[in-house]
């Protein structure tokens, strides 16, 4: 009987243990309850390749504005003319979106179809490229997963995924341009089967169908149930070009949506950094990793600018790239080359750690000899401000004056209250004439969250 009770007790403990493992994934706050994710996050740094692409772009399906027009349309009833330099495909009428040609060969400059964007991305060395047209555009009405333009976007991505060494993805930009009902802001969602529209009549009367006019809290609820297209990969959602108080000053956060919104557009076309907004979002509890994007409304940027979105993934597939974006394995850099990888307590950047007070960093940064301006000059580890103010503070830093291709740094930090750590890297091109560093550096890593 004694042995029997022990067995029963062990079985109960095992069951409780198993259920807490299944439902909480080692009680890792806000993380995916998935042991394969935890296993991947603990792979050595060498397991992760660096891929470069663009997760935000607009084609001719963003009909009302872009490189094909002289000016953007403010009202659908007052269309603006096509740009005089645009080689207009035969039969397209600037007043009528239903005349858009679906033959990519007819587009030769300024703007084109998703196929034209993907072709140029391949030619210009992009590893991945995402088309994310605005869903309030007339071409995407009425909102339906069977909408012919949405179907063209999905099918074109399928076609271009047949090319080797390239990943094509379709998504959309949800654009809420009013502060009513939960705030203002734009959000990208990638590879969802369906899409929704935030239109509130911004270019004419609000459309009557119920899928339009979705507020930000409604949209967050929709994200919680969004399914990946053809069940392949992960639906990725991120904040676009945020201002410091957008998204109702970062309101409407809960554990589920915090886990699902994973990226933050810290630069657009390598323009200035959205530092204040980024730190405010992090300090309000959002777990978002920094990305750069083009947000191009035409094709020229693909030719003129290096791919801005940088992802750490084991292989170049749609599944691996979307998993990396969902797991926050990104960093943003204003430099063209160089590679940043780091882990804390054996977990790769973007992870959330088990509660601990000791943090063993392992940081590796490579820069090529061909880019002397991109050599590392300072690495800083930052955390949220100790006094609770809306800021960060420097935990520790090293300065580097050498000319090494690879810098490895393994600091150990004891800390009892940080919510996250992230890396800020200053390169040679961040030094001003009087020898100071520019304030923000030019490489910003994804954080590691402490689980507090
Ligand atoms: Zn936008
Ligand atoms: Zn956009």
Cβ neighbours of residue 245 under 8 Å, at least 6 residues apart? 280
In a domain, 445, yes or no: yes
Q: For residue 274, how far is its CA from the centre of ligand 1 (angstroms)?
A: 14
Residue that is last in its domain, among 312, 333, 354: 333
Pick from 109, 194, 77: nearest CA to 145: 194
Please check whether residue 232 is in contact with residue 318, taking contact to mean a CB–CB distance below 8 angstroms. Answer: yes
First to last CA, the chain: 44
Q: Which ligand is nearest to the CA of 184?
A: 1
Q: Is the pLDDT of residue 238 over 50?
A: yes
Q: For residue 385, how far is its CA from the centre of ligand 2 (angstroms)?
A: 32
Q: Which ligand is nearest to the CA of 186?
A: 1
| pLDDT value of residue 11 | 39
Q: Which ligand is nearest to the CA of 243?
A: 1
327 and 343 share one domain: no
297 and 377 share one domain: no
* CATH code for position 290: 3.20.20.140
Task: State mean pLDDT over 223-228.
Answer: 98
362 and 380 share one domain: yes
Q: Which ligand is nearest to the CA of 172?
A: 2
Task: State mean pLDDT over 166-193.
Answer: 95
| pLDDT value of residue 181 | 85
pLDDT band at 94 (very low <50, low <70, confident <90, very high): very high
Q: Is the pLDDT of residue 209 over 70?
A: no
Q: Tell me the pLDDT tens digit for each residue of 262-309.
A: 999 999 999 999 999 999 999 999 999 999 999 999 999 999 999 999
In a domain, 100, yes or no: yes
Residue entry with tokens 């997760």: 55
User: How far is residue 140's CA from residue 297's CA, in Å, rounded to a whole number?
Assistant: 16
User: How far is residue 25's CA from residue 67's CA, in Å, rounded to a whole number?
Assistant: 47
Q: For residue 297, how far is its CA from the centre of ligand 2 (angstroms)?
A: 7
Residue ranges of E strands in 228-370: 236-240, 261-268, 289-293, 309-313, 330-333, 339-344, 347-348, 358-366
User: How far is residue 214's CA from residue 382's CA, in Å, rounded to a whole number?
Assistant: 37
User: How far is residue 92's CA from residue 170's CA, in Å, rounded to a whole number?
Assistant: 24
296 and 348 share one domain: no
Q: Tell me the pLDDT tens digit for each residue of 391-401.
A: 999 999 999 98
In a domain, 394, yes or no: yes
In a domain, 25, yes or no: no
Q: Is the pLDDT of residue 7 over 80?
A: no
Tokens representing residue 44 in the block? 């050595």
Q: Tell me the pLDDT tens digit for each residue of 405-441.
A: 999 999 999 999 999 999 999 999 999 999 899 999 9
Q: How far is CA 259 from CA 28, 50, 284, 341, in A?
A: 11, 23, 14, 22
Q: Which ligand is nearest to the CA of 65?
A: 2
Q: For residue 134, how far is its CA from the centre of ligand 1 (angstroms)?
A: 8
Q: For residue 202, how far is its CA from the centre of ligand 1 (angstroms)?
A: 13
How many Cβ atoms from other residues are within 10 Å of residue 311's Cβ? 28
CA atoms within 13 A on the CB side of 300: 7
Cβ neighbours of residue 443 under 8 Å, at least 6 residues apart? 331, 332, 333, 334, 335, 338, 340, 423, 424, 425, 427
Q: What percent of the chain has pLDDT over 90?
A: 85
Q: Which ligand is nearest to the CA of 185?
A: 1
Q: Which ligand is nearest to the CA of 131?
A: 2
322 and 451 share one domain: no
295 and 390 share one domain: no
Residue that is last in its domain, among 306, 333, 360: 333
In a domain, 69, yes or no: yes
User: How far is residue 288's CA from residue 294's CA, in Å, rounded to a whole number?
Assistant: 18
Q: For residue 334, how far is its CA from the centre of ligand 1 (angstroms)?
A: 20
131 and 161 share one domain: yes
In a domain, 29, yes or no: no
Q: For residue 293, how far is its CA from the centre of ligand 2 (angstroms)?
A: 9
Pick from 66, 440, 67: nearest CA to 267: 440
| pLDDT value of residue 206 | 67
In a domain, 18, yes or no: no
Task: State mean pLDDT over 77-103.
Answer: 96
Average pLDDT, the chain: 91
Q: What percent of the chain has pLDDT over 70?
A: 91
Q: How far is CA 49 from CA 15, 46, 128, in A?
A: 38, 7, 13
Maximum C-alpha span of the chain: 91
| Burial zone of 449 (CB within 10 Å; 0-12 exposed, 13-18 middle, 19+ buried) | buried
283 and 411 share one domain: no
Residue entry with tokens 């300024």: 110
Q: Which ligand is nearest to the CA of 198?
A: 1
pLDDT band at 15 (very low <50, low <70, confident <90, very high): very low
Task: State mean pLDDT over 211-231.
Answer: 92
pLDDT band at 89 (very low <50, low <70, confident <90, very high): very high
User: How far is residue 212's CA from residue 210's CA, in Å, rounded to a whole number?
Assistant: 5
Domain hosting 73: range is 47-333
224 and 345 share one domain: no
| pLDDT value of residue 213 | 82
| pLDDT value of residue 35 | 87
| pLDDT value of residue 29 | 45
Cβ neighbours of residue 55 under 8 Å, at least 6 residues apart? 128, 130, 132, 169, 171, 188, 190, 236, 238, 263, 291, 293, 309, 325
Q: Tell me the pLDDT tens digit for each residue of 17-55.
A: 344 333 333 334 444 557 889 999 999 999 999 999 999
Q: What is the 3-state secondary structure (H, E, C) of 258-272?
A: HHHEEEEEEEECCCC
355 and 244 share one domain: no
Please check whether residue 352 is in contact with residue 287, taking contact to mean a CB–CB distance below 8 angstroms. Answer: yes
The SS3 of residue 320 is helix
Q: For residue 318, how far is its CA from the centre of ligand 1 (angstroms)?
A: 23
Q: For residue 185, how far is its CA from the centre of ligand 1 (angstroms)?
A: 8
Q: For residue 122, how far is its CA from the centre of ligand 1 (angstroms)?
A: 24
Task: State mean pLDDT over 321-331.
Answer: 98
Q: How far is CA 29 from CA 120, 285, 369, in A?
A: 41, 12, 41
79 and 108 share one domain: yes
Q: Tell me the pLDDT tens digit for each residue of 351-367.
A: 999 989 999 999 999 99
pLDDT band at 180 (very low <50, low <70, confident <90, very high): confident
Q: For residue 122, how far is its CA from the centre of ligand 2 (angstroms)?
A: 21
User: How far is residue 66's CA from residue 81's CA, in Å, rounded to a whole number?
Assistant: 11
In a domain, 212, yes or no: yes
Q: For residue 241, how far is its CA from the centre of ligand 1 (angstroms)?
A: 7
* CATH code for position 381: 2.60.40.10
Q: Which ligand is nearest to the CA of 295?
A: 2
Q: For residue 18, how far is its CA from the centre of ligand 1 (angstroms)?
A: 44
Residue that is last in its domain, among 317, 333, 349: 333
DSSP letter string, 138-186 = GGG-S--TT-HHHHHHHHHHHHHTTSTT-EEEEEEEEEE-S-TTT--EE
Residue ranges of E strands in 314-405: 330-333, 339-344, 347-348, 358-366, 376-384, 392-399
Number of domains in the chain: 2
89 and 186 share one domain: yes
């Amino acid at each position: 009987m004694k042995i029997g009770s022990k067995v029963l007790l062990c079985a109960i403990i095992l069951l409780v243990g198993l259920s807490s493992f299944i439902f909480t994934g080692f009680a890792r706050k806000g993380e995916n309850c998935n042991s394969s994710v935890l296993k991947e996050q603990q792979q050595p740094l060498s397991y992760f390749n660096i891929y470069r692409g663009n997760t935000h772009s607009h084609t001719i399906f963003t009909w009302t504005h872009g490189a094909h027009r002289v000016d953007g349309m403010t009202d659908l009833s007052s269309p603006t003319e096509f740009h005089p330099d645009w080689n207009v495909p035969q039969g397209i009428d600037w007043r009528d979106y239903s005349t858009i040609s679906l033959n990519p060969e007819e587009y030769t400059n300024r703007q084109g179809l998703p196929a034209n964007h993907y072709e140029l991305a391949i030619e210009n060395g992009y590893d991945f490229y995402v088309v994310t047209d605005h869903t309030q555009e007339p071409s995407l009405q009425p909102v339906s997963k069977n909408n012919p333009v949405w179907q063209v976007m999905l099918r074109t991505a399928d076609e271009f995924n047949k090319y080797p060494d390239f990943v094509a993805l379709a998504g959309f930009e949800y654009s809420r341009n009013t502060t009513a009902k939960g705030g203002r802001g734009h959000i990208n969602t990638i590879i969802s089967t369906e899409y929704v529209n935030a239109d509130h009549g911004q270019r004419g009367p609000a459309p009557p169908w119920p899928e339009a006019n979705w507020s930000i809290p409604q949209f967050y609820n929709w994200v919680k149930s969004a399914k990946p297209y053809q069940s392949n990969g992960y639906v990725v959602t991120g904040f676009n070009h945020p201002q410091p108080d957008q998204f109702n000053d970062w309101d409407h956060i809960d554990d589920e949506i915090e886990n699902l919104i994973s990226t933050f557009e810290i630069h657009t076309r390598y323009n200035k950094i959205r530092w204040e907004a980024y730190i405010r979002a992090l300090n309000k509890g959002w777990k978002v990793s920094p990305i750069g994007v083009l947000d191009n409304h035409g094709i020229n940027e693909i030719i003129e600018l290096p791919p801005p979105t940088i992802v750490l993934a084991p292989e170049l597939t749609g599944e691996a790239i979307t998993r990396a974006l969902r797991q926050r394995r990104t960093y943003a850099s204003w430099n063209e080359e160089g590679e940043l990888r780091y882990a804390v307590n054996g977990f790769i950047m973007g992870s959330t750690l088990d509660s601990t007070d000791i943090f063993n960093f392992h940081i590796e940064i490579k820069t090529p000899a061909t880019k002397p301006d991109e050599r590392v000059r300072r690495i800083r580890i930052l955390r949220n401000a100790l006094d609770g103010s809306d800021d960060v503070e420097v935990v520790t830093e090293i300065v580097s004056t050498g000319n090494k291709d690879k810098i490895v740094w393994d600091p150990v930090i004891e800390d009892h209250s940080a919510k996250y750590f992230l890396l800020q890297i200053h390169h040679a091109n961040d030094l001003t004439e009087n020898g100071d560093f520019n304030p923000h550096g030019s490489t910003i890593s994804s954080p590691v969250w402490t689980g507090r």
